[in-house]
């Protein structure tokens, strides 16, 4: 069965084999939505997810439900995408919820947390571990409905203009890193900066910042960071499995016919899986090209990793002591993470570790 046929069948959900899809479409309303993203179109693995959703939603509803996509800055700046959905400027946004920790730190829990869930665990927690219910409860306060719209997989630690060899080298460093992770590294003397994706390169080139983190090889290559900051560090412990969230105005969502809701959910679920597959497929080649262009791969100093782990746990406890909602979400997520690593310790990691060693042996 072709994908478009599956999506059309799932979305329209005809109760009897004899009910023809066009007959249902004749009674279905014509609806047009606008989606604003927090990223520019050049980041095609992320922005392309919106185009997949629009394509499959339109096909599943015979063109009756149309979503028009806009990149960051075309309607509102990237960091105002959620507000635009809340106030009704647009119906839907593609935006990482951890951009909005200034409103409530709980937003970050549904994108990624420092030393948190990896990409597969994020999906497991959301779909089968209670994460979706916790997100629905939280987002209802903002008149929003949320979905998993993609994942980049574990990200790199970022691009640095100068080499960092121990914890002391991070003190006073102006680092493009936002949200909860920014608060963690601030405990270590880093000066965090939250800058929209389209503005990062200029800030790094001018020396306004000393380092930046974005995603990983495939996207970082497109933004050209290697030209101005040669040291490429890993791992990105603050982005172990970051979700690209999709949020919809709750009133608009409730006003959709059930068939349109089903089409939207099916399309977003496909885009969620497709984005991670793209990054897994495209990152290796991009990494090779970046190294050929002068990128110098470095692991973060152990002293920095250990201090970050300690500071992260302290910060989560501090926020939880003041914010009962945040504590409720994080208690559930940490318990899920700890259970998951029981399996990964005996299943995933031994296999992956052996394959990495076997590959280098030939």
Nearest to 265 by CA among 243, 248, 240: 248
What pLDDT is attached to residue 359? 87
Structural contact between residues 228 and 204, judged by C-beta atoms closer than 8 angstroms: yes
Could you read off the pLDDT of 165-201 as tens digits, one per residue? 999 999 999 999 988 999 999 999 999 998 887 899 9
Outline where DSSP puts E strands in the chain: 31-37, 65-70, 92-94, 144-151, 158-160, 174-176, 191-193, 211-212, 231-234, 243-249, 296-299
DSSP codes, 233-276 = EE--TT-SS-EEEEEEEHHHHHTS-HHHHHHHHHHHHHHHHHHH
What pLDDT is attached to residue 11? 45
Nearest to 3 by CA among 273, 256, 258: 273
Please state, in angstroms and rounded to a whole number, the distance separating the CA atoms of residues 246 and 71: 14
Question: Hey, how many other C-beta atoms are within 10 angstroms of the C-beta on 344?
Answer: 15
Please state, in angstroms and rounded to a whole number, the distance separating the CA atoms of residues 4 and 361: 44
Instruction: Give strand pairing partners of 234.
Output: 299
Structural contact between residues 125 and 173, judged by C-beta atoms closer than 8 angstroms: no
- Tell me the mean pLDDT per 10 residues along the chain, length 362: 49 41 67 97 96 98 98 96 98 96 97 97 98 98 98 98 97 94 97 88 96 96 96 97 98 98 98 98 98 98 98 98 98 97 93 91 76
Nearest to 207 by CA among 193, 221, 220, 223: 193
The angle subtended at Cα 93 by Cα 88 and Cα 98, nearest 5°, is: 115
What pLDDT is attached to residue 2? 52
- Residue 262 corresponds to which tokens in the numbers above? 């089903």
Nearest to 167 by CA among 135, 142, 190: 190
């Amino acid at each position: 069965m072709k994908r478009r046929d599956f999506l059309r069948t799932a979305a329209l959900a005809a109760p009897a084999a004899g009910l023809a899809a066009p007959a249902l479409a004749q009674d279905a309303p014509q609806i047009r939505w606008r989606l604003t993203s927090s990223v520019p179109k050049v980041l095609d693995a992320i922005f392309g997810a919106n185009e997949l959703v629009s394509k499959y939603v339109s096909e599943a509803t015979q063109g009756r439900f149309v979503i028009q996509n806009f990149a960051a800055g075309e309607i509102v700046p990237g960091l105002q995408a959620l507000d635009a959905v809340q106030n009704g400027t647009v119906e839907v946004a593609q935006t990482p919820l951890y951009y909005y920790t200034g409103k409530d730190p709980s937003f970050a829990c549904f994108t990624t947390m420092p030393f948190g869930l990896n990409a597969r665990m994020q999906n497991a927690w959301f779909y089968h571990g209670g994460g979706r219910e916790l997100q629905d409860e939280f987002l209802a306060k903002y008149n929003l409905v949320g979905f998993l719209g993609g994942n980049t997989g574990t990200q790199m630690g970022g691009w640095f203009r100068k080499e960092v060899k121990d914890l002391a080298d991070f003190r006073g460093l102006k680092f493009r890193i936002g949200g909860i992770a920014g608060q963690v590294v601030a405990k270590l003397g880093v000066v965090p900066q939250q800058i929209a994706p389209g503005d990062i390169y200029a800030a790094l080139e001018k020396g306004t910042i000393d380092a930046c983190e974005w995603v990983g090889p495939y996207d970082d290559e497109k933004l050209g960071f290697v030209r101005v900051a040669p040291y490429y560090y890993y791992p990105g412990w603050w982005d172990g499995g970051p979700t690209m969230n999709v949020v919809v105005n709750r009133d608009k969502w409730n006003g959709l016919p059930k068939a349109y809701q089903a089409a939207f959910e099916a399309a977003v679920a496909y885009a969620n899986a497709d984005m991670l597959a793209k990054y897994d497929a495209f990152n290796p080649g991009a990494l090779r090209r970046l190294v050929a262009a002068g990128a110098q791969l470095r692991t973060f100093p152990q002293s920095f990793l250990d201090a970050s782990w300690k500071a992260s746990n302290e910060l989560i406890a501090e926020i939880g002591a003041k914010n009962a909602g945040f504590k409720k979400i994080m208690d559930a997520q940490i318990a899920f993470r700890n259970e998951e690593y029981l399996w990964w310790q005996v299943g995933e990691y031994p296999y992956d570790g052996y394959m990495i060693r076997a590959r280098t042996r030939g």
